[in-house]
A and B are shown apart, each in its own frame.
Chain A
Amino acid sequence: MSSKDSRSMIEAGLEQMYPAADRDFLEGLEATLLTQATEHTAKSGSAGRSIWAALGAPLRRRTASLALGLVVVLTMLIGIFTPQRVFGAVLWLLGGRVYVPGVGIVDANTVRVLAAPVEASRDGVTVRVVSVIAKPDITQVVVEVEGMAYEDQIPYILSSYLLLPDGTAIGRRLRYIRTGFFQPVYEFAPLPAGVFEFELVWEPWTKRRAGDAGDWWQDTSQALVIPLTLVPGENLDTPVLPQAYALADASDTHYDITLEVLEVIQGLKETVLRLYFQWPGKFNSVYVDTGGGMELRSAHGEVFEHNRFALENQIMVVDTKNNQAPVAERYSFTEQTLVFEPGAPDARQLTLQIDRVSVWLDALEISFELDLGADPQVGDTWPLDVWFEAAGVPVHIVSARLVESTFYRRETNEEVPVYALEFSVGPRSDQGNHFLLSIDFSSIDGVGNLYGDYYEDEKPHGYVSTLRVPLKDAEHEMPTGVITVRVDSVDIELYGPWVISWEVPNLDNPTSDE
């Protein structure tokens, strides 16, 4: 099993480690709570109001501007979540390059796709297959489900499979489930060449009990079976809408980290960018926080908001630009698809600004010595003046303190007391161009099996992080004298900003070879 597969398996396994709640319990508790809630509202004189009246009450209490704001927000959300948006955006584009929500930008000439959404219903639940992209390396199915809470869909996501006409079942690829809002992307192994018709068998694994006789997975009588027919991507009647254009040298570099926009699709409903990362080997990974600090703007200053709710394909362990094989040592993103609200049609120049990225440095081979003295006691503090540089970022450890802590001993299933050292780190640079997120201490004086806690405890004003590392099992002697502390890895947030601008080509008269 490759490293990539093992990681995928681990993530899927972690999801499966937890049981689904018993449905009778959930329904019983809900009934109890609703009874209590009704009693609450009856006491307050509000019983009998409809949910819609209740939902409207806050609006009435607010100012007109806030009400307008809420309407705008709801409009935005409806625009994001309704199926129509997905239908309209399934395939756009000239030149064979298409953007599929939840899947990313793909080459239509190398894929088989679902020509139109298909849905099936049973017992009040409707499963709608919004799009299918069968690529040479993976088959991705974007699904919407109505009539079932997302949480309840997880067993189905884990267990659904594709059934080919010859009876072959294609199981779900054990990659991380990319869910977004209400729209999971089911990922399966590649479809065999020449297969255009098959079925999605949608059923949960939890409904079967051990001991059920027979090969129940071949019994689809209780499953929702959705027949699907694909067509070659190049046969699609692609609407003449957004046009992709490739960019050359649209990049910016700080700290030797280059962010480059490779490709842009400007549609009526969204602007989609392919952002490529390149970083030197000293960083184990580079991570862009899509939760903030990022904007797309025109030369006129109009800002087009990043759509954090959009499904963006972020998981890439292949160097897509250089077409390299997966790099086992780099479990990180080399490419990210970013989705923004649509740019103004007349914008002739666009600028992407990314304020910060986080980096992780591993295997630092940094160590320092600490003299505990002849008789160290809990509460003792040793001032330190340890400086080291991690990828150009100075880190300053200012003190160590001996504390009591606990450690879980797996063999005996018990918490045992241990001594630990707390290291204070800081303050962070006044220049404000980086921020130390955390440090890993992997070992002290050879006690490497007690891997270190890495959590930080930021003080509100002092920019001081406290880090703990177990020192010794309490059953052993307290170490004395000079010990060696090893720093294993650090997380650092680096501030750019990375500013990438490009001229928008005349989209009405494309000249690109693309």
Chain B
Amino acid sequence: MKLAIEQSSQAVVETVSPEDDTLAQAAVDSPQAFGELYRRYAVGVYRYLYGRTGNQADAEDLTAQVFIEALESLPRYRPRGQFAAWLYTIVRRRAVDRLRRQRPQFSLEWLDGHQTAADTPLGQVIHREDLQRLADLCSQLDKKKQELVHLRFAAGLSYAQIAQINGKSEAAVGMALHRLMKWFQDHWEDENE
């Protein structure tokens, strides 16, 4: 009982996603393991990079670069339960390189060819115009806050993972997001008045 508790505690404290580490270790020798990691993170990485670049071509190009670099760098990854943080270090470095001379913009261009939930009777609350207003609000955020939005809502990362990436406590991330949501809400309601 005691041993189990200690080991469990160790796992909880040190790892957000222990399976990632196991896979990352295995992926050095196993293409299948790398494929599994890819499938776990590719969509989030793509969405994050789309949020940073605002266009599909850049997002796809950078996504490919990220995973090629990750593949080559995996032997140097030290499993400490921070695979997401390690991967997003690569992601963000690639994004910064690309955007050094380009202002990122939230773009809803991609919606042009797609039906959204907002366009259906089932999604009456969110309309295309609402998304545009949200995108406009996002454009007003400073880079740190935009980054929080990307990590949370595009990449779908947990507070713990964002905390690892940003070197903050989980509570600080939670509070920052909480406050950010209030900012959105205040501005949203202001515009509605």
Contacts and interface: CB of A to CB of B under 8 A. Distances in A.
B122 A21 contact: no
A255 interface: no
B71 A77 contact: no
A195 interface: no
A151 interface: yes
Given A21-B47, A22-B56, A453-B142, A206 B172 contact: no
A410 B139 contact: yes
A33 B71 contact: yes
A62 to B, nearest CB: 10
B31 A69 contact: no
Interface stretch (A83-91, A95-103, A300-308, A367-375): A300-308
Interface in A434-456: 437-438, 440, 453-455
B51 to A, nearest CB: 6
B134 A17 contact: yes
B185 A7 contact: yes
Contacts of A212: 115
B26 A73 contact: no
A208 interface: yes
A408 B122 CA distance: 36
Contacts of B33: 51, 54-55
B102 to A, nearest CB: 10
A491 to B, nearest CB: 5
Interface in A1-28: 1, 3, 5-7, 9-22, 25-26
A154 interface: yes
Contact of A151 (B1, B34, B43): B43
A82 to B, nearest CB: 14
B172 A491 contact: yes
B42 interface: yes
Interface in A106-165: 149, 151-152, 154, 158-159, 161
Contact of B40 (A36, A58, A149, A217): A149
A305 B130 CA distance: 43
A348 B50 CA distance: 55
Nearest to A413: B103
A29 B26 contact: no
Contacts of A285: 175, 178
A56 B111 CA distance: 45
Interface in A52-87: 53-55, 57-58, 68-70, 72-73, 76-77
Contacts of A408: 103, 139-140, 142
B26 A57 contact: yes
Nearest to A20: B43
Nearest to A341: B8
A235 interface: no
Contacts of A438: 172, 175-176
Contact of B153 (A14, A152, A172): A14
A387 interface: no
B88 interface: no
Interface string B3-25: 11101111111000011001101
Contacts of B72: 40
A226 interface: no
A41 B26 CA distance: 11
Given A30-B38, A46-B29, A438-B176, A18 B126 contact: no
A356 B172 CA distance: 12
Residue picked from A18, A30, A410, A455, most chain B C-beta under 10 Å: A18
A493 B171 CA distance: 8
Interface stretch (A287-295, A390-398, A500-508): A287-295
Given A34-B31, A360-B179, A16 B126 contact: yes
A40 B23 CA distance: 16
Interface in B82-116: 103, 105-106, 108, 110-116
A124 B144 CA distance: 41
Nearest to A46: B29
B126 A9 contact: yes
A437 B169 CA distance: 9
Contacts of A34: 31-32, 34-35
A289 B169 contact: yes
Interface string A272-313: 000000000000010101011000000000111110100000
A73 B18 contact: yes
Nearest to A19: B110
Interface in A358-384: 358, 360
A16 B122 CA distance: 14
Contacts of B42: 21, 26, 29-30, 151
B144 A289 contact: no
B160 A55 contact: no
B115 A205 contact: yes
A491 B178 CA distance: 11
B108 A17 contact: yes
A153 to B, nearest CB: 10
B56 A19 contact: yes
Contact of B122 (A13, A37, A159, A209): A159
A331 interface: yes
B115 A13 contact: no
A154 B121 CA distance: 19
A159 B181 contact: no
A7 B192 CA distance: 13
Contacts of B181: 7, 10-11, 331
A300 B56 CA distance: 59
B192 to A, nearest CB: 8
Residue picked from A5, A29, A44, most chain B C-beta under 10 Å: A29
A15 B153 CA distance: 5
12 contacts: A1-B192, A16-B117, A21-B63, A30-B42, A38-B31, A151-B40, A169-B121, A171-B123, A172-B122, A212-B115, A453-B142, A493-B172
Given A33-B38, A217-B121, 18 more contacts: A18-B153, A26-B42, A29-B42, A32-B64, A33-B67, A36-B71, A37-B30, A46-B29, A73-B8, A152-B43, A158-B117, A171-B123, A174-B125, A289-B169, A291-B171, A302-B5, A410-B136, A493-B172
**Across chains A and B, which 8 residue pairs bring their CB atoms closest together, nearest first?**
A54-B30, A289-B171, A37-B31, A151-B43, A291-B170, A19-B110, A21-B46, A171-B122
